[in-house]
Chain A
Amino acid sequence: MRTSFMNLFYKSPFVNLIKHAEKVIDASRMFKEAVDLYLEGKYDLFEAITDQVARVESEADAIKRNIRGHMPRGVLMPVDKFQFFMYLREQDSVLDRVEEALYWLSNRHQAFDSEINEDLRFFVATTLPAMEKLKNLVEMASGFFRRGSEEERETIKSMIRDVRQLEHEADHLERELKRKIFNRITDAIQVYYLIRLVEIIGSIADHAQNATDMMRAMISR
C-alpha cells in the first residue's frame, strides 16, 4: 500500500552529489598521472589517460543531469535550491577545467626544460588537494543537513578555509610561474602554450573555491 506518509520522503540529492565528487577525485588522480606522463614525454600513454578523463567527465555530466532532472517544484530542501545548483555547477566546472587542461596539452607535444617541468608538477600538485577535499566536504555537509550540529558546521567551515588557502597558494604559484615563463622562454608559441596551460590549471582551484563559497552560503544560519 502506498501511503502519503511514505511518499513524503524524497530521495536526497546529496547521494548523487557525493558520487559526482567521487568522479572529481578520480579525475584528479588521472590528471596528475597524465601530466607526469606528458612531462616524461610518454605521449601515447598521456593520450590514453586523457581519453579516460573524458569518459569520467561525461559520467559526471550524467550524474549532474540526473540531479538537475529530479528536483521538481514542490520539493522542500534544507538548503536553497539555487545555491545547491550553483554548487553543483562549480563542482562540475572543476572537472571541465581538468579535461580542458589535458585537451590543451594534447594539442602540441612539447618538451620543457627541467625547471619548468618541476614547477608544473608542483603547480598541479597544489591544485589536487583542493579537488580532493570536495568529496569530504559534500559528505560532511550531507551529515550536517541530517543532524545539524554546530560541531559539524565548524568542521565544514574549516574545510572551506583550507580550500581557500590552497586556492590562494595556487594563485601565488600561477603568478610566479607566468613571470618565469616570460623571463625564460623567448619562443612566442611556447609562451602562449604555457601561459594558457597555467591559466587553465589555475582555474581548477578557482572553481573549487567557488564551490566551497556556495557551500558556505548553504550552511549559513
Chain B
Amino acid sequence: MSELFGVSADTLILIVAMLLACYMAANIGANDLANAMGTSVGSGALTVKQAVIVSFFLELAGASLAGGHVTNTIRKGLIDPALLSNSPELLLIGMFSALLAAGIWVHTATLLGLPVSTTHSIVGAVVGFGILAVGFFNVSWNMVFTVALSWVVSPLAGAIIAGAIFYLLDSKILRSAAPYRSAKSMAPYLLGTVVFVIVLSVIYKGLKNLGLNFDFLEALLIALPISLAGGFAGAALLSRLGGPQCRWIKGSEVEKVECVFGYLQIMTACYVAFAHGANDVANAVGPLAAIFSIAQTKSVVMQVEVPLWMLALGGSLVGVGLLIFGSRVMETIGRRITEITPVRGFCAEFGAATTVLLCSRLGLPISTTHVLVGSVIGVGLMRGMGVLDLRVIKNIMYSWLVTLPFTIILSMIIYRLLVWAIV
C-alpha cells in the first residue's frame, strides 16, 4: 500500500488515468457529439466548422455548469465508496480498471464497426470492479437498476417530447394559413423554453461550486423572467439577423419557415452541445475524479465535489475530440441525412437535449445518441421524417446486451490482475 502511494507510483497511475480519460473524452467527441451535431449539419443549419466551434464552447459550459451530477453518480453512486474507506487503494485501482476496461471496449467496438455507447461501457465497467471490490450484494443495485431503466425511458421521453413538438409545429405553423408569420410569432416561446430548461438545470442546486445554492422555487422564480427575456431578446435578434433575409427568400412560404428554423436550430444545436456536456463528460471524468481525489488525499473522501477544472478539462477534451476526429463523421452524416430539414432537426434536437438535460439533473448517465435516435423516431411517428429503419432499435438492444457483460467481465479481470500485481 505504501508503495502504491509512493510519489512515482501515484504519478504513474495519475498520468495513465489522465491519458485514458483523454482517450475516452476524445472518443465521446468523435462519435457521440458528432452524431448529435450531425443533425444540424445535415439540415444545413450549421457548417462543420461552425458545429465544431459551437460544440467546443457549449460542451465546456454544459460540463462545467451542469456536469457534476452525472459525474458524481459514476464516481460514487453505483458503488458506495464508504465501504472501501479502509483501503482507498482498492477504489483507486478499481476506478482505474473501469476506465481501462471501458476504453478497451470502446476502442475494440470502434475497430469492429459496432455501434456502442461510452455511457453503457463505463457504467458496466464500474459495476464490474464493484462486484469484486465491495461484493455483489453491496453494489448499489437500486441505482444500477434506475440507470438501466433510464436507458429505456430516455429514448421514449425523447420520442414523446420531439413528437409532441413536431405535432405542435405541424398544426400551428406548417398547416396554418400564414406559416411564416406563425413561425415568427412562435419563435420567442420556443427560444424561451430552451433558455428556461437550461437556466433551471444550471441554477437548481447546480452552482454549489460558486457557493450559490437555490431550492426549486427560487430557481423557478429566477429562471422564468430570464427565459422570457431571453426568448424575446433572441426573437428580436433573430428578426434583425434572419428575419429580412428569410422574408425575401425566393420560394414558397414553407421555405421561409425552414429559413427561420435554420436560425432556431443553431440554438437547439447549442442546447444539444450543452446537454451533452452535462451528461457525457462524466463518462471520462467520473472515474478520473475518484482517482484524483484518492491520490491527493490518500483516503476515500465523500463530501468533496468534483473540481470545476476537471469538468472543464473533460468538456474541452470532448470538443477537441470532435475537432480532430469528429469532422469526418459529421460530414458523412450531413451528406447522408438529407431527410432532416431545419424544422425536423429543431424538434429532434429539442426533444433529445431536453431529455438529456433532465436526466443529467437527476444524475442519470444516459446515451445521448440513443435519445437522439428516439427523438428522430418520435418525429417520424408523427409522419414528419422520411424513411426510418426501425431495426436500429433491435441493434441498440443487442449493443446493451453485449456491452454490459463484456465491460463487467473485462473490468473484473483487469481489477483482479492489478490487485494481484500491486497490493
Contacts and interface: CB of A to CB of B under 8 A. Distances in A.
Contact of B387 (A2, A7, A77, A152): A77
Contact of A149 (B179, B332, B380, B396): B179
B35 interface: yes
Contacts of B336: 6, 9
Contacts of B174: 147-150
A12 B253 CA distance: 24
A78 B386 contact: yes
A112 interface: no
A75 B385 CA distance: 12
Interface string B180-216: 0000000000000000000000000000000000000
Interface in A136-161: 145-152
A149 B389 contact: no
B387 A8 contact: no
A76 B179 contact: no
A171 to B, nearest CB: 34
Contacts of B386: 9-10, 12, 14, 77-78, 145-146
A48 interface: no
Contacts of A8: 373, 376-377, 388-389, 392
B333 A6 contact: yes
A79 B253 CA distance: 23
Chain B contact residues: helix, strand, loop or mixed: helix
A77 B339 CA distance: 12
Contacts of B339: 9, 12, 146
A74 interface: yes
Interface stretch (B59-67, B107-115, B221-229, B409-417): B107-115
Interface string B5-41: 0000000000000000000000000110001001000
B221 to A, nearest CB: 38
B399 interface: yes
B253 A6 contact: no
B329 interface: yes
Interface string B367-395: 00110110011001101111111111011
Interface in A1-54: 1-14
Interface in A56-77: 72, 74-77
A196 B380 CA distance: 47
Contacts of B31: 1, 3
Interface string B350-376: 000000000000000000011011001
B35 A6 contact: yes
B369 A12 contact: no
Contacts of A7: 115, 389, 392, 395
B258 interface: yes
Contacts of B170: 148
Name the residue among A1, A11, A12, A78 with the largest chain B CB count within 10 angstroms: A1
Given A147-B258, A149-B253, A150-B179, A4 B384 contact: no
Contacts of B376: 5, 8
B387 A75 contact: yes
B337 interface: yes
B418 interface: no
Nearest to B166: A148
Given A76-B387, A78-B385, A148-B170, A4 B380 contact: no
Nearest to B385: A78
B389 A9 contact: yes
B125 to A, nearest CB: 20
A147 B372 CA distance: 20
Interface string B220-244: 0000000000000000000000000
Interface string B38-65: 1000000000000000000000000000
Interface string B122-144: 00000000000000000000000
Interface string B324-361: 00000100110011010101000000000000000000
B86 interface: no
B250 interface: no
A3 B62 CA distance: 24
B176 interface: yes
A71 to B, nearest CB: 9
Given A146-B341, A147-B254, A147-B341, A5 B35 contact: yes
Given A9-B339, A74-B391, A4 B385 contact: no
A152 B254 CA distance: 9
Contacts of B296: none
Interface in B148-175: 170, 174-175
B252 interface: yes
Name the residue among B170, B339, B369 with the largest chain A CB count within 10 angstroms: B339
Contacts of B373: 4-5, 8
Nearest to A7: B392
Contact of A76 (B254, B370, B381): B381
A3 B387 contact: no
A77 B383 CA distance: 7
21 contacts: A1-B30, A1-B115, A2-B115, A4-B369, A4-B395, A4-B396, A5-B333, A6-B35, A6-B333, A6-B336, A7-B389, A9-B387, A72-B391, A74-B390, A76-B377, A76-B380, A146-B339, A147-B258, A148-B384, A149-B253, A151-B254
In order of increasing CB-CB distance, the 3 nearest A-B pairs are: A149-B254, A4-B115, A10-B389
